[in-house]
Structure 1
Amino acid sequence: MPTLHTYDYAVIRLVPRVEREEFINVGVIISCPSAAYLQAAIEIDTARLHAFAPQLDQAAVQPWLDAIVAICRGEPDAGPIAQLPPRARFHFLTAKRSSVVQTSVTHVGRTSNPAGLVEHLLERMVRTPR
């Protein structure tokens, strides 16, 4: 029987007008400590984003989204947060904030394939249903 790992995930959102609390999902962050796995992925449907928030400058928020991915990877040039243990990085990235780039509350699941979670969650939570 395959080993089941408990994981946490949060959906990355763009909130163009924070006071309205409307958002569009653009990525996911996944933490699976028992498999030493922390990953984030961003996937923006530009046409959908423009239809949702034509005033939002995607180029202006892209560095913040890229920073999430870099922090998850622990890249040396991603700043001091990227040097923290993986679980601390996940908690930092998923902390509640009032900004254009936010994350959902964290959710918990179990999987035997942590590496397959990114694709699964992008399909389920970010991509436009087919």
Structure 2
Amino acid sequence: MKKHAVSYAIIRFQPHVETEEFANIGIVLVAPRISYLDFRLETRRLGRLTSFFDSVEATTIRSVLKSYNLELKRIRDLAGHNGSGQSRFEFELSDNAEHLFHALTKDREGVIRFSEIRFAMTDSPKAKLDELFDYYVRQNFAGSVYREGLLEKHVRGILKLRDIGRNLKPMEFTDGLYSAKFPFVEIVQDKPRKVLKPIYLGQDEPSRILEHGNKWLFTINRLKEKMPPDVVVAVEGPKDSAKRRQAFHEAVEQFRVNNIKVVDGRNENELIGAMER
């Protein structure tokens, strides 16, 4: 399959020029030889923006992105995009895809900025655009396993700061057929007294949130005869999407129904309170 040389830039939201802080919100990509120009812009999952730039009203952020999305569509249409690729017609010099790309990504003042232009080779410009968007904006490399690791690291930091972590050790429990390792087990007189397990429940799909919650619910229930009765799960859930939040609340409720304590893994007071009882 023929390879295409593409140029792309990361679209960034930077409301405070003074601090130079920004968040990646999209990708614009051009394949000059086939006159392909397209973009992807995040307009739905705005929790990361609203929490990071908490001094900017959520309605303002939505309005800016909505307006810019329309502007990008207008520019894409000028290049002749037809939804599945590029229409082939004679371009005016000022309207060809490569010229529009460079005009669009030129450094200028405003809350929407661009990274430096980058280059790649690809069989499919559209697939490459989706891949870049998933990586730089949706951060698909930061999957649930990675995020659960970050939550565990955060919890460990809090426990050490409060001088609680010294009596906590990782421990594996098994019934002979099934086993699982828990990162924080309080040991008192050489016996496990309490178990704390950070669980990330902010997966992309509601079904995956429920599946991950059910996995650990099954694990704890299966091994409950081998574990101390005092089990705490420190959870982190999604910050946007009503359906994902609903799935998160259902997963949390299942833990509680099964007499498993649930605390907010990002709330220091809840964590400390659960471990000091």
Q: What TM-score range do you get, normalising by the shorter chain? A: 0.7 to 0.9
1:74 equivalent in structure 2: 78
Structure 2: distance between partners of 1:5 and 1:13: 25
Contact 2:12-2:115 at 8 Å conserved across structures:
yes
Structure 1: distance between partners of 2:97 and 2:16: 31
- DSSP-derived class of the 1:90 partner: helix
Structure 2: distance between partners of 1:28 and 1:124: 10
Query: What TM-score, normalized by structure 2, do the two folds share?
Result: 0.42
- DSSP-derived class of the 2:18 partner: helix
Structure 1 ranges of 4+ moved more than 6 A: none
1:32 equivalent in structure 2: 31
Percentage of pairs with the same residue: 28
1:60 equivalent in structure 2: 63
Contact 2:7-2:31 at 8 Å conserved across structures:
yes
Structure 2: distance between partners of 1:55 and 1:98: 20
By how many angstroms is 1:75 displaced?
A: 8.1
Q: Max radius of gyration: which structure?
A: 2
Instruction: Confirm whether residue 121 of structure 1 aligns to residue 136 of structure 2.
Output: no
Shifted more, 67-76 versus 43-52: the winner is: 67-76
Structure 1: distance between partners of 2:68 and 2:29: 17
Alpha-carbon RMSD: 1.9
Render the CA deviation track for 1:46-102: whole Å, top value 9, x for unaligned. 1111111123321331212431232123289xxxxxx72211110111101121001
Structure 2 residue runs without a partner (length 5+): 81-93, 144-277
1:79 equivalent in structure 2: none
2:183 equivalent in structure 1: none
Structure 2: distance between partners of 1:60 and 1:20: 22
Structure 1: distance between partners of 2:18 and 2:97: 32
Relative contact order (alpha carbons < 8 A, sep ≥ 6): 1 or 2 greater?
Answer: 1
Taking the TM superposition and a 5 Å limit, the aligned residue runs for 1:44-55 are 44=43, 45-55=45-55
- DSSP-derived class of the 1:12 partner: strand
Structure 2: distance between partners of 1:112 and 1:28: 18
